[in-house]
Amino acid sequence: MNEWIILPKHYEEALVILSVIVAIVGSYASLELNRRLAKATSLRKRTLLLSSLTMGLSIWGMHFIGMGAFELSVAVNYDWVLMLLSVVPAITAAWIAFYLLYYSAITRKKVVLAGSLIGIGITMMHYLGMAAMQFGGDIRYDTGIFTLSVLIAVTVAYVALLLLYMTRHVDKKRILIPVATLMGLAVSAMHYVGMLGTTFCIPADSTTVLSNDPITSNILSEVAIPIFILIILITGLYIHLERRALQMMAYTDHLTGLHNRRWLDHHMMKVDGQYNRSKQTMAMALIDLDGYKWINDTFGFDQGDTIIRQFADRIKEILGEEEACIRYNGTQFFLIKQVDTEQLEASFNQVLEQIRQPMLLENQEIHLTATIGVILPNPEETLEMRIGQMESALRAGKNEGRDRFVLYDELIHSDRREQLIVGSLRKAMTDYKEFNLVYQPKIALATGKVEQAEVLIRWNHPKLGFISPAEFIPIAEKYSLIHRLTEWVLKETVHQMELWKKEDHFIRQVSVNLSAMHFRSESHNSMIKEIVHHSLERGGELHLQLEITETSVMENLERALMMLGELKQLSLTIALDDFGTGLSSLTHLKHLPIDILKIDKSFIDEVPHDERGTAITEMIIQLAKSLGIAVVAEGVETLEQHEFLKRLGCDYGQGYYYSRPMNVKDLDQQTIERTVRDVG
């Protein structure tokens, strides 16, 4: 009968501590990765695989760093095949657990199952890794301690996943720290408890291989390099996926899953190029649901959203591979279709017929119709010109009785109203008596005080009535009238600010919008310089803020930077308006001499209930904070939005929740600030 010698066990304490840290950091990385990127639905499969790999490799890395800390009195080698196979159960268990936790309906039983799988995966990886050891002897396990190691892994993994599930709606990153710590400790505790119950023996006749001192294994140096390379690869993939996820969130309508208007703005040139290369005929259409308001009035807004989703799903069914549907705004959809000009009528009649099919709402059939304005786009035309043409055709369809499509014909549908407005605008700008300015306050969210406002122009035509700035400003830009209009607005604003200063009025700073056309000529700054200098000569400091848009700056970045530098020398404050609608500015943001970011209303509309809009809004605020730039959220309309933005540390809020744009005489500090004071 063979006699066996039990070998003494030794540990390098520093490597033991390192192995525990690796387990905790790896657990945090996999949990954070899975939770953040799982919000991007189109990336879910890749996200699930990546987070499972991260978890499995962190467990595997911890084990072999721990084995690198372990020393016997004999030389130890490892079977590389078994070593590599040992990572498979850890990755597989993590994949199944994360799938159950994030991608299926959650129940307590599923959390138990997920925790059990993680624990069993850790255990299998550990003991398969132990089997890879080669030292000329035998490994024996204490049954009781072996069982205890399995129970520790399963129990602590279950508690960690239960905490993760309970905190899944908490946005703070630090909430994952205790969860990851528990998960890392589960891995480490299982490993070292398992090692405690492990006995290493060699035959008595093998004493010649014994060393007087513990022999350090070479496993760490052999494993360190591949682990380091894998970590670099995973980090790179993580950054890539996160970038993709944020872009998709920015370009997707949260209600329907369709592309949104921002996608259209940034991808129109790509779509044009695609159709030009394929020599296919492209039609564009603006679809507007007829009489939709009664659905919201009758069934409520939630059911109205249900109809919008059903409508979007119905349009998706008739889209080909090279076609797209974009949710343009509330009830309007922008359609890009591949058509044969001879089949255009049949194609859009099919779209209308699809829309006419009844929809079910609360077990009641709802019949909807739509009016469609269609164009065959000219590659030389801008997106705005195309939209104007579609809107003209759409209006004609509405006027003709709705439930039809109208193909734009320049001779018939060219906008006569535009020409009427141009003529009226030129006449009104002789004395500016038809225009007036209104002011919309901005609330300092931290204090509830209002010391700033944005000035907005209004035009009340004697015959046409109120004409929206959204209509006449683009026309003023198109016909080169905007520079004169901006000059009048600036002069009136500066005059009002001078009066307020004498009165010690509560509004201390006023912002004025600059048109995108401003940066097309370097001479346009001279008008602003002249107005500012005249004001300073009349007495004192001028707290004027100029709002510019992302697109105006990006059109000619070099010239815009030079002109903005000149304006900054006048001690003016610069705000970047509609931030978030143009991702290209992220690259250049650190170079722009701006003081304030204004988050576009389209993002604020989606918070705090929509995860995508919320994530982007939080990202913008954090980005601005890191650059030392103040943040204004425009379009705040609800108490929930106000509280959410205040909680995130947004500096200012602007919107109907606080105050509509008002005439000077109607501005009342107490009334405006009471809105914030009563809730805060």
Question: How far apart are alpha carbons 488 and 474 in whole angstroms?
Answer: 17
Do 491 and 379 lie in a common domain? no
Looking at per-residue confidence, does 528 or 36 come out higher?
Answer: 528
Do 199 and 271 lie in a common domain? no
| Sign of the alpha-carbon dihedral angle for 375, 381, 386, 388 | negative
Question: How far apart are alpha carbons 368 and 347 in whole angstroms?
Answer: 19
Q: Please tell me the predicted confidence (pLDDT) of residue 434.
A: 95
Do 382 and 306 lie in a common domain? yes
Question: Smallest Cα–Cα separation from 424: which of 459, 388, 470?
Answer: 459
Question: How far apart are alpha carbons 509 and 586 in whole angstroms?
Answer: 27
Do 294 and 179 lie in a common domain? no
Whether 122 is in a domain gets the answer: yes
Q: Please tell me the predicted confidence (pLDDT) of residue 632.
A: 95
Question: How far apart are alpha carbons 96 and 79 in whole angstroms?
Answer: 27
Whether 563 is in a domain gets the answer: yes
Q: What is the DSSP secondary-structure string of 292-317?
A: THHHHHHH-HHHHHHHHHHHHHHHHT
What is the number of structural domains in the chain?
3
Query: Model pTM?
Result: 0.47
List Cα–Cα distances, 231 to 55, 177, 235, 244, 548, in angstroms: 11, 20, 6, 20, 42
- Looking up residue 542, the CATH number of its domain turns out to be 3.20.20.450
Q: Please tell me the predicted confidence (pLDDT) of residue 443.
A: 94
Whether 428 is in a domain gets the answer: no
CB count, 10 Å around CB of 55?
29
- Strand (E) or helix (H) holding 632: strand 630-634
Do 232 and 289 lie in a common domain? no
- The residues, any chain, with a CB within 8 Å of residue 236's CB and separated by 6 or more, are none
The dihedral region occupied by 362, where left means phi > 0, alpha psi between -120 and 50, and beta the remainder, is left
Segment 560-600, tens digit of pLDDT: 888 999 999 988 999 998 776 554 455 667 778 889 999 88
List Cα–Cα distances, 225 to 4, 48, 229, 230, 321, in angstroms: 36, 25, 6, 9, 45
Residue 518 CA, chain-centre distance (Å), reads: 30
Q: Per-residue confidence at 2, pLDDT binned at 50, 70, 90? A: low
CB count, 10 Å around CB of 17?
12
H runs (alpha helix) in 176-300: 176-196, 219-250, 261-278, 293-299
Please tell me the least confidently modeled range out of 34-48, 297-311, 345-359, 662-676. 34-48
Q: Per-residue confidence at 37, pLDDT binned at 50, 70, 90? A: very low
Do 10 and 49 lie in a common domain? yes
Q: Per-residue confidence at 371, pLDDT binned at 50, 70, 90? A: very high
CB contact at 8 A, 125 and 63: yes
Which of 202, 217, 249 is where one domain is finished? 249
Whether 347 is in a domain gets the answer: yes
Average pLDDT, the chain: 81
Mean pLDDT calculated for residue range 536-547? 84
Q: Per-residue confidence at 269, pLDDT binned at 50, 70, 90? A: confident
Which of 189, 220, 249 is where one domain is finished? 249
Do 502 and 387 lie in a common domain? no
Segment 174-228, tens digit of pLDDT: 777 877 787 778 778 888 888 888 988 888 777 666 777 777 666 665 655 555 5
Q: Please tell me the predicted confidence (pLDDT) of residue 583.
A: 44
Do 545 and 489 lie in a common domain? yes
CB count, 10 Å around CB of 213?
8
- The structure tokens 């800390």 sit at 69
Which of 249, 273, 295 is where one domain is finished? 249
The tokens for 525 are 């700054």
Residue 659 CA, chain-centre distance (Å), reads: 28
Do 270 and 161 lie in a common domain? no
Do 630 and 657 lie in a common domain? yes
Whether 466 is in a domain gets the answer: no
Whether 596 is in a domain gets the answer: yes
Q: Please tell me the predicted confidence (pLDDT) of residue 224.
A: 53
Whether 92 is in a domain gets the answer: yes
Q: Please tell me the predicted confidence (pLDDT) of residue 242.
A: 58
Question: How far apart are alpha carbons 496 and 664 in whole angstroms?
Answer: 9
Dihedral angle of Cα 126, 131, 132, 136, to the nearest 10 degrees? 140
Residues, the chain:
680
Question: Smallest Cα–Cα separation from 489: which of 438, 565, 524, 448?
Answer: 438
Looking at per-residue confidence, does 483 or 542 come out higher?
Answer: 483
Q: Per-residue confidence at 491, pLDDT binned at 50, 70, 90? A: very high
Please tell me the least confidently modeled range out of 330-344, 401-415, 561-575. 401-415
Segment 93-145, tens digit of pLDDT: 778 777 776 666 667 777 778 778 877 887 888 888 888 888 888 888 888 99
CB count, 10 Å around CB of 72?
21
Do 614 and 666 lie in a common domain? yes
Do 228 and 305 lie in a common domain? no
Q: Please tell me the predicted confidence (pLDDT) of residue 18.
A: 80
Residue 668 CA, chain-centre distance (Å), reads: 36
Question: How far apart are alpha carbons 367 and 358 in whole angstroms?
Answer: 5
Q: Please tell me the predicted confidence (pLDDT) of residue 623.
A: 85
List Cα–Cα distances, 304 to 49, 298, 299, 312, 626, in angstroms: 37, 9, 7, 13, 40
Q: In the chain, pLDDT over 90 holds for what percent of residues?
A: 20
Q: Per-residue confidence at 444, pLDDT binned at 50, 70, 90? A: very high
Q: SS3 for 103-148, per residue?
A: CCCCCHHHHHHHHHHHHHHHHHHHHHHHHCEECCCEEEECHHHHHH
CB contact at 8 A, 6 and 200: yes
Q: Per-residue confidence at 372, pLDDT binned at 50, 70, 90? A: very high
Q: Which domain holds residue 278?
A: 261-413
- The residues, any chain, with a CB within 8 Å of residue 433's CB and separated by 6 or more, are none
Q: Please tell me the predicted confidence (pLDDT) of residue 285.
A: 93
- Looking up residue 363, the CATH number of its domain turns out to be 3.30.70.270
Whether 254 is in a domain gets the answer: no
Q: Please tell me the predicted confidence (pLDDT) of residue 12.
A: 79
